[in-house]
Amino acid sequence: MKTRIIAIAAALAFGSAAQAQDAAVGVWQTEVDDGAYAHVTVAPCGAAVCGTISRTFNGSGEYQSPNLGRQIVIDMVPQGGGAYEGQVWRPSNNKMYIGKMDVSGNALRLRGCVAGGLICASQNWTRVN
């Protein structure tokens, strides 16, 4: 019994430590894009992090967007210093972009780039929790 309790405690500690080490993990609020914004839940996905649209809002409040559950941040691999590289999907035009992300505390800057990363558009997201 004692061994089982130690094993459970160790599993919880390691799981929490892994999540605490990745600054991007959590729920983030996007900027308004085409009149709506979303909450994106970022979680580990293999050696990277991925973000899924978990809630959507427009001028009338929360609504059931057809994009709920869609992955918007795809395979963002940590580069060190809060920087990530992967892919980004933009719901308003249904296009995929080279993705770059920088996380600092409760601020996240997400960029979608074309032309090998030479031309980028960005959004600043804030941590919800």
The answer to whether residue 52 is domain-embedded is: yes
Q: Is the pLDDT of residue 34 over 90?
A: no
The answer to whether residue 16 is domain-embedded is: no
The answer to whether residue 11 is domain-embedded is: no
* DSSP structure string for 40-73: EEEEEETTEEEEEEEEEEETTEEE--TTTT-EEE
Q: The whole model's pTM is what?
A: 0.80
Q: Could you give the number of structural domains in the chain?
A: 1
The answer to whether residue 19 is domain-embedded is: no
CATH number at residue 62: 2.40.128.520
The answer to whether residue 8 is domain-embedded is: no
SS3 118: coil
The answer to whether residue 88 is domain-embedded is: yes
The answer to whether residue 96 is domain-embedded is: yes
- Indicate the range of 6-10, 34-38, 57-61 predicted with least confidence: 6-10
The answer to whether residue 61 is domain-embedded is: yes
Range of the domain at 50: 24-127
Separation of alpha carbons 19 and 25, rounded Å: 7
User: Mean pLDDT, to the nearest integer, of 32-37?
Assistant: 90
- Of 48, 62, 46, 65, nearest to 128 (Cα)? 62
